Structure 1
Amino acid sequence: MTESSPSGSPSSMKIYFRLLGYVRPYAGIFLISIVGFVIFASTQPMLGYILKYFVDGLSNPEAVLFPSVPYLRDLQLLQAVPLLIVLIAAWQGLGSYLGNYFLAKVSLGLVHDLRMELFNNLLVLPNRYFDQNNSGHLISRITFNVTMVTGAATDAIKVVIREGMSVVFLFASLLFMNWRLTLVMIAILPMIAFMVGTASKKFRKQSKKIQAAMGDVTHVASETIQGYRVVRSFGGEAYEKQRFLNASESNTNRQLRMTRTGAIYTPMLQLVIYTAMAVLMFLVLYLRGDASAGDMIAYITLAGFLPKPIRQLSEVSSTIQKGVAGAESIFEQLDVEPEMDGGTLERSSLTGRLEVRNLSFTYPGTDRLVLDNISFTVESGQVVALVGRSGSGKSTLASLIPRFYHHTDGQILLDGIEVEHYRLLNLRRHIAQVTQHVTLFSDTVANNIAYGDLAGAPRAAIEKAAEDAYAKDFIEQLPKGLDTLVGENGVLLSGGQRQRLAIARALLKNAPLLILDEATSALDTESERHIQAALDQAMKGRTTLVIAHRLSTIEKADLILVMDKGQIVERGTHAQLLAQNGYYARLNSMGLDEPTTSGIA
């Protein structure tokens, strides 16, 4: 998909704070983790002070550490220093556990919530969003991009809090010990901040490119796996290898560029920090004054602790920018308006009378008129057939009835009510649809027939639907009958068998309006003959809209609409249209068997 341009991108901070908004439900646990990291950070200056007492104890091991504290006034450095080291280690361990464990709970919960929101959002996005975005990028967003957000939510927050608090405690201790020397160190901070800011912009820009490239990798792999039969039938192995190689190399190169930026930037920052340390050591030796050797060793040690947390804080910028780029892509999808549902009407049952008045339609973002002033009426229980070349608008008309797309010019009335006035879920509950491209799920035969709202249907009803769809014979030959797993998209079944399961699903729904979009196209002649008999039975008492190329599926229709270039050019029964000796008669003489396309028709 097309990434938003940097100029139009929200700021990193705005995105990051929106991301952190997902932490709100975990505020209590998050607070415990912060307390843990504060405990961990507080042990850094403690270790420096222990070193001071150790050095001072070398010259006077019998000195008392806490002369004014009851019960501890007899505790000599000889016993106190080892004891304090153990206590500090235990205190640090407690802080580390609280911080790491509870932050992991927060971050994993955050990622789970984001992933669920992203997936649930996919279920309500309008059809045009899927037309404009390939599946590889959508899948990559749920997997790879969310993983990037995990890094920003876990590692980054951990480093920012733990190392940030370490820097605060260390600076506070250094200011307390010798504020003049510490001010020299602070003078170097603006340079560090400038370097971090410059690198952050590069990291975010490069990370967005990496995520786009990762989407390409997923997309190519997904297409090849789904279309492996076509790839092998037409010798596409070499082409797909090259296509995947190009996508993978692009991703690798972009990852490498990001690593190179970090590899150059980190040593430069380290050089600046250690130069500051060199100046500091010179000043310590020069301005030592009356301080003891223990004081100076402690000060140098505490100052020596600073480069590590500062370096980690600077490196976390790349992790945060990866997360920000991933979050930006995620929020970009979440901010898309969901499928429009302005309807308020709900009906428990419909007769299925369909009327189309002066309907015209153009796909969003295009200028071509796909449907041009279409009008017709189908009484309850009647069968209307749509005939015409591929691209004449038949499937588009079928897509407008269940509101996969929204019309603005003209009306589509179901039981005398405009379809836009029905609540979306209620409208679709009254429509059963079987298309040329069958979708089956990696589940049992029974669960594929009784899918969605039909889940939990009685076993007898499922068996009856399978029998009416002429699927019972082949189902009984499967290893576990109705409980046999069909594989991904029904890969273990033939095209005709998959189509019969789709028809069984529609029959089980028992909706008053049935739409058959070339539903028998994948069937052999004998299967079609049986299915046609089943469909003839299924059509009784319900309105049926049939889109077909084969003559046998439409010759019994109550009304045949012949479409060309988005208009109805002829209408009537099979006999009437043949008598006119016009467009339909010419199609009929060719057997109505023109090849179909997978595009929008």
Structure 2
Amino acid sequence: MPQNKELKFQAASHEPVRAELWNRIYSRLRPYWKEVALALILVSIASATQPLLAIIMKPLLDDGFTGGKPYYIWFLPLSVIGLMLLRGVTTYLSTYVFAWVTNKMLFSLRAEMFQRLLNLPDEEFRRGDTGRLLNRFTIDAGVMTGVATEVVTVVTREVLTVIALLGVLLYMSWQLTIIVFLVMPISVFVARMVSRRLRRINRDTINMNAELTRVVNEAIDGQRVIKLFNGYEREQERFSYVNARLRRFAMRAAAADAALSPITQLFVAVAVAGVIFVALYQANTGALTIGSFAAFMAALGQIFDPIKRLTNMTGTVQRMLVSAESVFRLVDQEAEQDLAGGDLDKPVRGRVEFVNVSHQYPNTAHRTLNNVSFVVEPGQTVALVGRSGSGKTTLANMLPRFVQGESGQVLLDDTDIQTLSLRNLRSQISLVSQDVVLFEGSIGQNVAYGAEGAVSEEEIWFALEAASLDQFVKSLPQGLETQVGENASALSGGQRQRLAIARALIKNSPVLILDEATSALDNESERQVQVSLEALMQGRSTIVIAHRLSTVQKADMILVLDQGEIIERGRHDELLKLDGVYANLYRLQFANSEVA
């Protein structure tokens, strides 16, 4: 398993320490060291065939054409065929083995990333960085694992090829080889200069790719709003800006990458010119044969291709490092704090108590909640009402620990929820909100999602009946097997809400949170859903957040919040008699409904 510590950042450049980053990338290859070793052996064999093809040139020219060794007529052609066959087989096998290792790495990395994603605190998702998160799964993880094995393959193959070809060069003429040694360091220096620029460009490209994903995702989700509010030009401008920036980054990367080739070719031309000059001098003195010169030139002609591939790897490596930074930034993010391991005693009664709870979001001037205290007795319904921003949703989100309080306590069955494991705590709570989330799959699967274990078909039908959705499902040709579609697009708003209620019924938890569960529905759908909600609330401790006061008139207790404090509490008729904030809100809503 990789280290679960955050990458260290240099104070000046804020870039990860490269040695640590390399170590983290290649630590993921260690479980597959046997396969990697096998692939490297195959790569080494394939690399060894290349200099042998150059060496054949010497006996071919010095002895083959003179007729001194007649068996060369069939031996040398068969040798060439045998070497190429060996090279082809070993290259195929090494490529296959490395592809297997790459996909195993990618599989385990994405599994780890997804596990960390599911365990991130709720506040991480409220930041709305969906594009970057998706980018890490779809692009960055693939680039990191793919290039990691590609680097091993290319470096091993090309380095061995270069070493073998240098050996051939030295054997044929050490004087000519010196010229090559003078040119290579200059090429490496130029490659390092270009790689620094490529790394900066690749980091900007990854960030802009995430922005592109976000813009397109918003356009897909908000296509109706764009059409109704004539937002075509605005969205086109946003997309064009991001698209143009990506094009500029791509062209900068292409320019830097393309500069390597002509520069390398210039060094090659200088080296070849020097070699020809010295070779002609040695040939005139009898120190170099035609076969030796041909073998030397064949090896020299081959050596610059692997060198070029090695220098071109710099841009690829920079993409890998930048992608790895992005991936490990997700892997290293701190998961939800779940240090406590306590469980509630069974049976759970569902008594909820907030004791002097306060909360303030970071970078805000005022508290969201200020010394809020109230109790929900087992089976009671407590409604939270008030203007937008008064702290209702924050208060409800503190119960399942989606939001952490600044001070005070939240108790469930007289037990501080901070001492309970998150899994145990949340197993006691069901949520139905106005933004219903249903998953790709069948109606039956979405209802059964709320259960911890296996659920029978009878239980699913019972939950659907209680949610007043059974007749609708029975009317469908495929019944429970009907696919709801992406984002439950095949269902109406009321049907989605009742499906969410059926899911909560299956869970059968003692505590229920209703967050604006009917606010997005028309009057007819609201009445149908309200009947289902009353069945769901029966015998459960329920916290209701509502703007529509008609939905909370039967609550055992109504709490009126304003600027994070409870300013009124009581039953519906008591608050009307009080003639305070609640009564004004009630009169305002019903006056508006009468006018409408």
Q: TM-score, normalised by structure 2?
A: 0.93
Residue pair 1:62, 1:77 contacting (<8 A) in 2 also: no
Residue pair 1:136, 1:215 contacting (<8 A) in 2 also: yes
**CA displacement 1:551-598 (0-9 Å, x = unmatched):** 232111111110001111111111211111111111111128999xxx
Distance of 2:508 and 2:526 partners within structure 1: 21
In the other structure, the counterpart of 2:116 is: 121
In the other structure, the counterpart of 2:4 is: none
Q: Aligned to 1:564, which of 553, 562, 565?
A: 562
Residue pair 1:556, 1:574 contacting (<8 A) in 2 also: yes
Q: Aligned to 2:488, which of 474, 486, 490?
A: 490
Give the partner amino acid of 1:101.
Y
Distance of 1:399 and 1:270 partners within structure 2: 64
Distance of 1:436 and 1:571 partners within structure 2: 24
Map residues 98-117 of structure 1 onto 2, 5 A cutoff: 98-117=93-112
Deviates most, 33-42 or 280-289: 280-289
In the other structure, the counterpart of 1:303 is: 300
Residue pair 1:447, 1:455 contacting (<8 A) in 2 also: no
**CA displacement 1:382-441 (0-9 Å, x = unmatched):** 110001011100001111100112223000000011111110011111100011111111
In the other structure, the counterpart of 1:410 is: 408
Map residues 310-325 of structure 1 onto 2, 5 A cutoff: 310-325=307-322
Q: Aligned to 2:326, which of 315, 324, 329?
A: 329
Q: Aligned to 1:48, which of 25, 48, 54?
A: 54
Map residues 496-507 of structure 1 onto 2, 5 A cutoff: 496-507=494-505
Map residues 474-489 of structure 1 onto 2, 5 A cutoff: 474-489=472-487
In the other structure, the counterpart of 1:588 is: 586
In the other structure, the counterpart of 2:244 is: 249
Q: Aligned to 1:60, which of 63, 66, 74?
A: 66
Deviation of residue 183 (structure 1)?
Answer: 2.5
Q: Aligned to 2:32, which of 15, 26, 30?
A: 26
Map residues 440-589 of structure 1 onto 2, 5 A cutoff: 440-451=438-449, 453-454=451-452, 456-589=454-587
Distance of 1:593 and 1:285 partners within structure 2: 105
In the other structure, the counterpart of 2:352 is: 354
SS in 2 for 1:61: coil
Deviation of residue 482 (structure 1)?
Answer: 2.1
SS in 2 for 1:316: helix
Residue pair 1:151, 1:320 contacting (<8 A) in 2 also: no
Residue pair 2:40, 2:156 contacting (<8 A) in 1 also: yes
In the other structure, the counterpart of 1:227 is: 222
SS in 2 for 1:9: coil
**CA displacement 1:184-223 (0-9 Å, x = unmatched):** 3112222122111111111111111111111111111111
Residue pair 2:383, 2:559 contacting (<8 A) in 1 also: yes
Deviates most, 424-433 or 13-22: 13-22
In the other structure, the counterpart of 2:132 is: 137
Distance of 1:463 and 1:189 partners within structure 2: 75
Distance of 2:590 and 2:511 partners within structure 1: 24
Distance of 2:67 and 2:11 partners within structure 1: 67
Distance of 2:396 and 2:533 partners within structure 1: 18
Give the partner amino acid of 1:222.
N
Tell me whether 1:17 sits opposite 2:12 in the alignment.
Answer: no
Deviation of residue 227 (structure 1)?
Answer: 2.0
In the other structure, the counterpart of 2:5 is: none
Residue pair 1:270, 1:311 contacting (<8 A) in 2 also: no
In the other structure, the counterpart of 2:342 is: 345
Residue pair 1:499, 1:523 contacting (<8 A) in 2 also: no
Give the partner amino acid of 1:391.
G
Distance of 2:102 and 2:431 partners within structure 1: 42
Residue pair 1:438, 1:498 contacting (<8 A) in 2 also: yes
**CA displacement 1:490-544 (0-9 Å, x = unmatched):** 1121111111111111121110000000112233323333332332232222100
Distance of 2:364 and 2:590 partners within structure 1: 29
In the other structure, the counterpart of 1:70 is: none
Deviates most, 422-431 or 273-282: 273-282
Distance of 1:11 and 1:273 partners within structure 2: 35
Distance of 1:150 and 1:594 partners within structure 2: 60
SS in 2 for 1:591: helix
Q: Aligned to 1:36, which of 42, 48, 51?
A: 42
Deviation of residue 322 (structure 1)?
Answer: 0.8
Give the partner amino acid of 1:232.
K
Give the partner amino acid of 2:445.
N
Distance of 2:519 and 2:445 partners within structure 1: 24
Give the partner amino acid of 2:556.
D
In the other structure, the counterpart of 1:434 is: 432
Distance of 1:189 and 1:592 partners within structure 2: 84
523 and 322 in structure 1: CA distance in 2 versus 1, 3 angstrom threshold: same
Map residues 267-306 of structure 1 onto 2, 5 A cutoff: 267-288=262-283, 289-306=286-303
Deviation of residue 243 (structure 1)?
Answer: 1.9
Q: TM-score, normalised by structure 1?
A: 0.92
In the other structure, the counterpart of 1:381 is: 379
Deviates most, 54-63 or 423-432: 54-63
**CA displacement 1:342-399 (0-9 Å, x = unmatched):** 2210235411000100100112444431111100111111110001011100001111
Distance of 2:451 and 2:48 partners within structure 1: 57
229 and 457 in structure 1: CA distance in 2 versus 1, 3 angstrom threshold: farther
Tell me whether 1:81 sits opposite 2:95 in the alignment.
Answer: no
Deviates most, 515-524 or 201-210: 515-524
Residue pair 1:41, 1:166 contacting (<8 A) in 2 also: yes
262 and 560 in structure 1: CA distance in 2 versus 1, 3 angstrom threshold: same
SS in 2 for 1:287: helix
Give the partner amino acid of 2:273.
A
Distance of 2:439 and 2:523 partners within structure 1: 26
342 and 593 in structure 1: CA distance in 2 versus 1, 3 angstrom threshold: farther
Deviates most, 273-282 or 19-28: 273-282
Distance of 1:507 and 1:469 partners within structure 2: 8
Residue pair 1:359, 1:373 contacting (<8 A) in 2 also: yes
Residue pair 1:389, 1:594 contacting (<8 A) in 2 also: no
Sequence identity percentage:
39
Deviation of residue 279 (structure 1)?
Answer: 1.3
Distance of 2:301 and 2:531 partners within structure 1: 86
Give the partner amino acid of 2:415.
I
Deviation of residue 258 (structure 1)?
Answer: 0.6
Deviation of residue 52 (structure 1)?
Answer: 0.9
Residue pair 2:450, 2:503 contacting (<8 A) in 1 also: no
Deviation of residue 151 (structure 1)?
Answer: 4.2
**How many pairs does the alignment contain?**
582
Deviation of residue 4 (structure 1)?
Answer: 11
